[in-house]
């Protein structure tokens, strides 16, 4: 359980650091609009907070985290990503079903690159994981605590600006050899959000799943921006059904 305590400690430290940074910014720019879009005379956004959950027939996951770009979220340069996630999944081992549960925490320095209508973000850093199974599965090498390196890349491209988007993302960790790959495209709808198809695959040493569905992305309500996705999912245990995904973010 040492890894679990370390993950919690990292997240508490990250939260404390973030609060301290926000207080420092408030002292320096007492009258600035904390939710500014970076327009003239206002403070540039440097923090992006995100959270969400994902549900399907055999399990689910929840996550949260933040991005910190000291040079501004809309500029090239250094970006730090913090991620905390946990969830559960069902897989088959021999003739029986095993319920797996996990908790992970990642600290990933990275870099943001923007060239016209193309934006690329790449990250890499420490990844800590804790896994347990019920009933106990001695054949699952993921059981227990693990430390490794996590890599993450995200691409957003608008081949027809403000009309058509293409988005891809990849995440992978040397701890448990888990990975996730997603691709989506979408059209701008009534100048309010993006909508279109998505495909995704993810897995680790014992479990894999495949998805095809549709998404609504970047719908803004006040200072918040949300996205949803839904569709068909199938895994390597021949289980299939529907999935649903919801995420929420805000900038500061």
Q: How many CA atoms lie within 13 A of 33 on its CB side?
A: 11
CATH number where 231 lies: 2.40.160
DSSP letter string, 108-143? EEEEEEEETTEEEEEEEEEEEEEEEEES--TT-TT-
The dihedral over CA atoms of 32, 34, 40, 46, expressed in degrees to the nearest 10, equals: 120
What pLDDT, on a 0 to 100 scale, did the predictor assign at position 24? Answer: 31
The alpha helices in 62-184, defined as continuous H runs, are: none
CA–CA separation, 166 and 183 (whole Å): 8
Tokens of 118: 């193309």
Tokens of 223: 């200072």
> Which range of residues forms the domain containing residue 159?
2-251
CA–CA separation, 26 and 48 (whole Å): 17
CA–CA separation, 106 and 124 (whole Å): 9
Give the pLDDT of the chain (252 residues) as one tens digit per residue.
Answer: 545 554 555 554 444 444 443 333 333 222 333 323 333 334 689 999 999 999 998 899 999 999 999 999 989 999 999 999 999 988 887 768 889 899 999 999 999 999 999 999 999 999 999 999 999 888 788 889 999 999 999 999 999 999 999 999 999 999 878 899 999 999 999 999 999 999 999 988 778 899 999 999 999 999 999 999 999 999 888 889 999 999 999 999
What pLDDT, on a 0 to 100 scale, did the predictor assign at position 35? Answer: 29
CA–CA separation, 217 and 13 (whole Å): 31
What pLDDT, on a 0 to 100 scale, did the predictor assign at position 38? Answer: 33
Tokens of 195: 């909508």
* CA–centroid distance for 98 within its chain: 26
CA–CA separation, 206 and 141 (whole Å): 9
What pLDDT, on a 0 to 100 scale, did the predictor assign at position 95? Answer: 67
Tell me how many domains the chain contains. 1
What pLDDT, on a 0 to 100 scale, did the predictor assign at position 67? Answer: 97
- CA nearest to 245, candidates 123, 49, 63: 63
The alpha helices in the chain, defined as continuous H runs, are: 2-28
- Quickly tell me which residue has 């970006």 as its tokens: 79
3-state secondary structure at position 23? helix
CA–CA separation, 241 and 175 (whole Å): 28
What pLDDT, on a 0 to 100 scale, did the predictor assign at position 7? Answer: 53
- CA nearest to 47, candidates 20, 9, 10, 8: 20
């Amino acid at each position: 359980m040492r890894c679990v305590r370390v993950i919690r400690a990292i997240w508490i430290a990250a939260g404390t650091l973030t609060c301290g940074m926000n207080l420092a910014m408030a002292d320096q720019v007492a009258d600035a609009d904390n939710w500014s879009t970076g327009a003239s005379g206002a403070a540039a956004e440097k923090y992006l907070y995100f959270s969400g959950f994902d549900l399907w027939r055999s399990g689910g996951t929840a996550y949260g985290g933040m991005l910190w770009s000291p040079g501004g979220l809309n500029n090239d340069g250094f970006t730090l990503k913090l991620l905390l996630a946990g969830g559960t999944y069902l897989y088959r081992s021999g003739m029986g079903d095993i319920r797996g549960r996990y908790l992970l925490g990642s600290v990933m320095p990275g870099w943001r690159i923007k060239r016209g209508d193309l934006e690329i973000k790449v990250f890499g850093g420490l990844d800590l994981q804790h896994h347990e199974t019920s009933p106990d599965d001695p054949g699952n090498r993921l059981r227990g605590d693990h430390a490794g390196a996590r890599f993450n890349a995200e691409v957003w491209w608008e081949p027809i600006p403000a009309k058509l988007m293409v988005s891809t993302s990849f995440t992978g960790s040397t701890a448990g050899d888990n990975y996730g790959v997603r691709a989506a495209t979408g059209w701008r709808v009534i100048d309010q959000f993006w909508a279109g198809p998505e495909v995704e695959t993810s897995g680790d040493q014992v479990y894999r799943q495949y998805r095809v569905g549709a998404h609504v992305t970047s719908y803004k309500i006040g200072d918040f921006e949300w996205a949803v996705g839904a569709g068909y999912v199938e895994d390597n245990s021949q289980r299939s059904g529907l999935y649903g995904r919801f995420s929420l973010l805000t900038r500061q």
